[in-house]
Structure 1
Amino acid sequence: MKLHIPPWRIGRLVVGTLLCVSAACFIAGFHPHLAYANNDAAHRSEPSQPSAYSQVTAEHYDYRFGAGQPFLPSLAQTADGQFMDPKSFPTAKYCGHCHQEAHAEWRQSAHANSFRTPWYSRTADMLAKEKGIEFTRHCEGCHNSIALFSGALTKGSTVNRKFDEDGVTCSVCHSIQKVDTRGTGSYVLARPAVLVDEKGAPIYGEVSDRAILTHLDRHSKAVMKDFYRTSEFCSACHKAALPRQLNDYKWQRAIFLYDEWQQSSFAKQSPLPFYTKDSVSTCQTCHMPREELALPDPGARDGKLASHRWLGANTMIAKVYNYDTQYEKTVSFLKNNVFNIDIFGLEKNGGSMTAPLGAEPVTIARGDTVTVSAVIQNKGIAHTHVPEQRDIYESWVEFEAKDASGHVLAHSGQLEPDGELDPRAHSFTNRLVNVNGKLNALHEVWDTRVAPFNNTIPSGRSQIVRYQFRIPMNAKGPFTVTTQVNYRRFDQHYIDFIMQKKHYVQPVVVMASRTRTFQLGANPAGPADPADNPLWMRWNNYGIAMLDAQQYAESARAFQQVIRLRPDYADAYTNVAIADFEWQRYDDARVILAKALSLSPHNARALYYLALVERNQGNLDTAIADLREVATQFPRSRDAHRELGFSYYQQHKYDAARTEYETLQSIDPDDLAAHYILSIVYRRLGMNDKASHEAAEFADQKNDPTASTYALEYLRRHPEISNETVPWHTHSNLEMTTARSKAQGMPAQ
């Protein structure tokens, strides 16, 4: 089953954290007794050993994926293409005797534990047993670079793997020379050096503290590069694909946090998000904030160090290894204003919806069947929730309605006694299905054929979740409804398998929660609740949610309410036009976009959608002029370059089309439209080799038209899941309410 993505959303599907920052550029609190090496002078060790090591390793190495391609399916490379002796990597302990704070934080992070956690090692073992250890190179390029580059990932390897405990260690991140945004380990790593000589040549091996402290500028030059502070640095690993070499099937995108960030309001590189930010936030802004020192660290500035905890959503590492500080900070991070929950509207007995609740009066009586609409906004993260491998993460909406006596009128999203999540819960996840139409329940991504649906929330967008229940005749008022977003790292089936323990208990974090109270009878409008967004924003978020639910008429009506409340807000008019465009009401869209541009001349967002309208109505020159202006204002807008290139292509201006699509590929090397159009454009320009390459990439990356049969087979077997694949649906609790009411001695109505 192909996931429906409206045309205006294509290309907008974005927190990467593979980075280490802050070399010792300043001396702050250095103590001489911390010196690790006794020799006073810096020494130079010629890099002859790695070549000798590489030659010996190559003699017994399985080049499964091609001669001269030792590291595939990972895209990671060494600077000279050779294997590297693991002894050439300074240990984290070596770095940590001076950088005590960075080392202490790193030890509790996902980077430090990237290889040794039971969920990673067991999954990697499954892959090795099913296909061979050489296939784990796909994973280890990011999870255990030293294992990959040392040649340890081959049958019969005798490499001493004591480095496994360090995972992604200091000398890995700080030896990366360049990256690109293909992901799956798309970086180039040189032999580590913590110092360079007076000519800038690397000095290999461990050097003394005195040598480093005497030449701090040379230490910084050896271990720090400007691009370490960019999101592109993170993209090398926090974006990944499943290539044909791994799955013997075709290229499949796995994770794309960099792309999600790059197209979000946080990056400020695209005009299309529904909201704008005052400043740019990179991966490092959120995941490496500067924090007060607890331990000495010469890399600090003004007593603060860029955090090497890389806080994210991994609550399980902290639990398994008893990292109390990491756990507390992770929970705080997850609760830090990520979501806004708005219990927005209420329908009675199949009638029209009263909304926004609190601002409009509503009357509720016993015996009413009510449908509550909750709008959940992802406002605090620059990528989807949940991120990364969504098939084994578990985040969901829990809804409960109770009367004044505590009787449960409705409950959805509860955990069952065995720890399993209610299968009908609204969860922010997907499923990975194999060729047999069955779930890859243990994260066997190499056997995946299709994801039947994807219910994650992109950055800056909203989802609507609807719950229906009946108020019993003997219910005692008032009654309350509570909606909350819960998170735990893994689903129960997976963690039970990993930990080999039935009903292994994981931490559950309530990321956000909201409650509204309703009287039985009249509920007059009242003053604004401090927990609510401004009224215009409540309507705006509802409109976004309805747009993504493909309810275009209702979406346009919601955005019209925003116009009523904020007639000077240009984006509100553009939002109405987006709904009109999806509804193929092009003339209406043109008129209201003109109003947006009258309020905000040269507004790139309005110009982009106006260009799509113009092109659909045959006005290619006008569309091109608008898109060129958008691309000028936002030179890294992949959407602008994609649509501009296609417009030139329609005019047979192949050189101009080529320029736009090549620019697009510089932003996203795997853009499917770029592969397709360039395969044609290159051919028509006589560039046959390039045309063949792009055609092959397109053939490998395009959708498999037969894959939907696997999805349909899975959904046929799991009707409780099928409801979640429908963009607009209701979680009805009527049957459950009846059962609970009887159990509680309340007559069902």
Structure 2
Amino acid sequence: VDGKLIAPVRPSVPSLKPGSEYLLEVVVRTMKVGHLFSQGTADSNEIWIDVALENDGKTIGRSGGLDEGKEVDPWSHFLNVYMLDKDGNRIDRRNAQDIFTPLYNNQMPPGTGQVVHYRFKVPEDAKGEIDVAVKLQYRKFDAKYMKYIYPDKEENDLPIVVMSSDTVTFPVDGEAALGQAPAKPEWQRWNDYGIGLLLKGNKGSEKGELIQAEAAFKQVEALGQAEGPLNLARVYIKEGRLEEAVEALGRAVEADPPAPPWTVAWFNGVVNKQNGFLDKAIENFRGIVDDRSQEMIDRGFDFSQDYVALNELGQTLFERAKMERANEAKRNEFLDRAIKRFEQALFYDSENLTAHYN
């Protein structure tokens, strides 16, 4: 999609032109949840985004609607896991014993978000206003599963819960309007948008919508928030732009207030490891798991129990040991330190695959 981004919507609401096409960006964020959303029976939980556009009482666009049997439009955006068996069939009867691999996993980690894109065309004869209503809907089981349990029922009558909703009214072929400003500050809205773009994929060619994420985080930095350069560093690391990542981390430290030192240390460690500065990376990761500042104590943070950080430290120590080919005693010292960190990770997670493998 090539066009000018008009964001954030509200307090200023742009006017739409009849016959023109637009891309509507919907941001969903998880708050105050310490695990993946939704977690649990994520293959059978039915959580989706319902978007409806109306003009003069007529529906001109819809995603996430229900059919006569109350089955959700299959082209909706679902926040679940689409799990497959070995033959490529969906796990749709709670037959967990047949799980083989996910086709996609649209769950959201704690404190993150998603961006969902909707393209629509304003009708040529549209006048007045276009009302956009967005809802995050939840139902415990989908229609196909309920049909399996109750084959004689004509519809899925399980209750649908609206978890979150929002509405925006766009003027048509007129002047821009003013709407009520959301409670969230502007920088946070840009940041949520950028995080959703950043997290759109992590492998191969699907590493997120990084150009758009970079632009969003630059807006956050321009608004004076440390989250801007900190998240720019995330983008640059994903793109392999390590020098720019270092510069962004430096700006995050200098911001007022600065970015959390443990987060900066983590990304400095990642960059130093990729650059081959293993001793610096070891110190970055060691400081995260071993040192506890007063701020960390006050906020209840103890990364000595973080098996991800422990594994990263162990792997870096192992890589450092490889450099001591001519000094067996030094090499063994690094290997012993690596083993201790992996054992530490296994103490907190006895089935941790990374720690066992290393």
TM normalised by structure 1 equals 0.42
Change (3 A) 1:399 1:657: same
1:435 and 2:86 equivalent? yes
> Map of 1:92-107 to 2, 5 A cutoff?
none
Look up the match of 1:563: 221
Which among 236, 249, 266 is matched to residue 593 of structure 1?
249
Look up the match of 2:325: none
Are the aligned partners of 2:221 and 2:229 in contact in 1 as well (CA < 8 Å)? Answer: yes
Which among 331, 344, 350 is matched to residue 663 of structure 1?
344
SS in 2 for 1:365: coil
1:457 and 2:126 equivalent? no
Look up the match of 1:627: 285
Q: How far apart are residue 447 of structure 1 and its match? A: 1.3
1:554 and 2:212 equivalent? yes
Alignment-mate amino acid for residue 645 of structure 1: G
Which among 362, 365, 372 is matched to residue 14 of structure 2?
362
Look up the match of 1:650: 319
SS in 2 for 1:397: strand
Change (3 A) 1:357 1:396: same
Which among 616, 620, 631 is matched to residue 274 of structure 2?
616
- The 1-side partners of 2:310 and 2:186 are apart by 35
Q: How far apart are residue 514 of structure 1 and its match? A: 0.3
Q: How far apart are residue 500 of structure 1 and its match? A: 4.1
Look up the match of 1:486: 137
Alignment-mate amino acid for residue 442 of structure 1: R
SS in 2 for 1:436: coil
- The 2-side partners of 1:605 and 1:433 are apart by 36
Alignment-mate amino acid for residue 212 of structure 2: E
SS in 2 for 1:466: strand
Are the aligned partners of 1:378 and 1:457 in contact in 2 as well (CA < 8 Å)? Answer: yes
Look up the match of 1:576: 232
CA displacement 1:21-56 (0-9 Å, x = unmatched)? xxxxxxxxxxxxxxxxxxxxxxxxxxxxxxxxxxxx
SS in 2 for 1:505: coil
Give ranges in structure 2 of 5+ residues lacking alignment: 201-207, 293-302, 322-333
Counting matched residue pairs gives 325
Are the aligned partners of 1:361 and 1:523 in contact in 2 as well (CA < 8 Å)? Answer: no
SS in 2 for 1:396: strand
Give ranges in structure 1 of 5+ residues lacking alignment: 1-346, 678-749
CA displacement 1:342-392 (0-9 Å, x = unmatched)? xxxxx8xx4122111125563321111111101011113222222212111
Are the aligned partners of 1:486 and 1:509 in contact in 2 as well (CA < 8 Å)? Answer: yes
Alignment-mate amino acid for residue 251 of structure 2: K
1:638 and 2:294 equivalent? no
Are the aligned partners of 1:434 and 1:448 in contact in 2 as well (CA < 8 Å)? Answer: yes
Look up the match of 1:544: 195
Alignment-mate amino acid for residue 90 of structure 2: L
1:413 and 2:64 equivalent? yes
> Map of 1:226-625 to 2, 5 A cutoff?
350-359=2-11, 362-403=14-55, 405-502=56-153, 503-524=155-176, 526=178, 529=181, 531-549=182-200, 550-566=208-224, 569-599=225-255, 600=258, 603-625=261-283
- The 2-side partners of 1:391 and 1:455 are apart by 10
Look up the match of 2:299: none
TM normalised by structure 2 equals 0.86
- Identify the structure with the greater strand proportion: 2
- The 2-side partners of 1:420 and 1:608 are apart by 45
Look up the match of 1:673: 354
Q: How far apart are residue 595 of structure 1 and its match? A: 2.1
CA displacement 1:382-408 (0-9 Å, x = unmatched)? 2222221211110100001001x2111
Q: How far apart are residue 527 of structure 1 and its match? A: 6.8
Change (3 A) 1:525 1:622: farther
Are the aligned partners of 2:171 and 2:177 in contact in 1 as well (CA < 8 Å)? Answer: no
Q: Supply the RMSD in Å over aligned alpha carbons.
A: 1.8
Change (3 A) 1:601 1:626: farther
- The 1-side partners of 2:259 and 2:31 are apart by 27
Q: How far apart are residue 532 of structure 1 and its match? A: 4.2
- The 1-side partners of 2:307 and 2:12 are apart by 41
Change (3 A) 1:444 1:601: closer
- Give percent identity, aligned residues only: 27
> Map of 1:149-298 to 2, 5 A cutoff?
none
Alignment-mate amino acid for residue 644 of structure 1: L
Are the aligned partners of 2:91 and 2:98 in contact in 1 as well (CA < 8 Å)? Answer: yes
- The 2-side partners of 1:536 and 1:561 are apart by 7
SS in 2 for 1:661: helix
520-529 or 481-490, which deviates more? 520-529
Alignment-mate amino acid for residue 611 of structure 1: G
